[in-house]
């Protein structure tokens, strides 16, 4: 049960990181649209709403569930949750003021063109003009404040990620979405994050990802990660992982001859790697199954 809960939490962390990176990209476009005079309420609503249909709503909710309602949350997790709450509420202010300007400003402008006969109508339009002027000012201030909050929280994100070196699902996501990570955090940022997590930086990140893929049954992806790690370090432990995952992939693909060739090479390497005793035993088990299948004519 504990392992299931930990894996579920690992998935939630991945979802939070993914949502925040996507929200940061989306917000940059919104901010650019505003600066170009093209901000639309429908786009703002895709970023933030109060009905659970937007990026920031789901991000805020996930952070509350995982970080706020958890006695074991770290200081970095609690700070990140607070930052997400602040960003959400600032964005809701943007949403309200954008709605006022997009919906009411055109109507007021049309009414002003018509002949106004009563003092009551004049007072009403005057008040509406004041309300819209305040909305325009609040929109500008809210957009700038939210932009600053997101920039600062992206720095918090780097600190937050440092504590998740054992989360193989997260490392897989970061490596798979390196383009997104570097679009948001800057060129070379992923290597910096991995160096803050591990002594061997990216190399160790690739190993963690490979092992996670293997545990999930994705031996093709495990082999791919091990292959990339092998280009950075070609010692016996790395070559073992590559041959082991390659053999497992071939086995499940039904390529028994290729599988047993890779696994036997891995087995020889494993004899000098005591830390790989568990995989050594797994190889012997798979090797026995392959020989049985070959004996039966497969």
**4 or 183, which is more confident:** 183
The answer on 251 and 118 residing in a single domain is no
181 part of a folded domain: no
Q: pLDDT by residue (tens digit) across 227-269?
A: 999 999 989 999 999 999 999 999 899 898 898 899 999 888 8
Q: Please state the separation of Cα 190 from the chain's center in Å.
A: 12
Neighbours of 57 (CB within 10 A): 19
The pTM of this model reads: 0.89
- Identify the CATH number of the domain in which residue 281 sits: 1.25.40
- Domain match, 218 and 269 both: yes
SS3 69: coil
Identify the domain boundary among 103, 131, 163.
163
Both structure tokens of 85: 């709450």
Residues 80 and 216 in one domain: no
Residue 271 or residue 136, greater confidence: 136
Tell me how crowded residue 121 is: count the other CB atoms within 10 A of its CB.
13
Note whether 206 and 232 are within 8 A (CB).
yes
Same domain, 232 and 156: no
pLDDT digit string, tens, across residues 71-82: 888 999 999 999
Q: How confident is the model at residue 270 (pLDDT cuts 50, 70, 90)?
A: confident
Please tell me whether residues 155 and 89 are part of one structural domain: yes
Residues 150, 10: one domain? yes
Domain count, the chain: 2
Q: Per-residue pLDDT for 191 more than 50?
A: yes
Cβ-Cβ contacts under 8 Å for 87 (sequence gap 6 or more): 56, 146, 149, 150, 153
157: containing domain:
2-163
């Amino acid at each position: 049960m504990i392992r299931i809960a930990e894996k579920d939490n690992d998935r939630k962390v991945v979802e939070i990181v993914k949502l925040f990176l996507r929200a940061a990209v989306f917000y940059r476009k919104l901010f650019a649209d505003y600066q170009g005079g093209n901000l639309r309420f429908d786009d703002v609503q895709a970023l933030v709403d109060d009905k659970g249909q937007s990026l920031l709503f789901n991000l805020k909710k996930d952070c509350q569930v995982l970080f706020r309602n958890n006695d074991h949350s770290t200081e970095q997790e609690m700070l990140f949750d607070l930052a997400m709450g602040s960003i959400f509420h600032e964005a809701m202010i943007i949403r309200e003021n954008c709605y006022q300007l997009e919906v009411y400003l055109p109507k007021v402008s049309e009414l002003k063109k018509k002949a106004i006969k009563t003092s009551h109508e004049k007072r009403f339009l005057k008040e509406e003009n004041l309300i819209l002027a305040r909305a325009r000012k609040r929109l500008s201030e809210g957009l700038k404040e939210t932009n600053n909050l997101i920039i600062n929280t992206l720095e918090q994100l780097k600190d937050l990620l440092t504590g998740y070196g054992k989360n193989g699902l997260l490392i897989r996501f970061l490596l798979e979405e390196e383009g997104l990570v570097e679009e948001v955090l800057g060129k070379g940022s992923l290597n910096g994050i991995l160096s803050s997590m591990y002594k061997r930086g990216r190399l160790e990140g690739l190993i963690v990802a490979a092992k996670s893929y293997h545990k999930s049954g994705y031996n093709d992806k495990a082999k791919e990660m091990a292959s990339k790690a092998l280009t950075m370090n070609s010692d016996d432990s790395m070559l073992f992982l590559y041959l082991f995952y390659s053999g497992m992939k071939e086995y499940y693909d039904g390529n028994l001859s290729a599988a047993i060739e890779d696994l036997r090479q891995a087995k020889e390497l494993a004899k000098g790697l005591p830390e790989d005793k568990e995989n050594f035993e797994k190889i012997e088990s798979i090797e026995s199954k392959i020989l049985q299948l070959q004996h039966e004519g497969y």
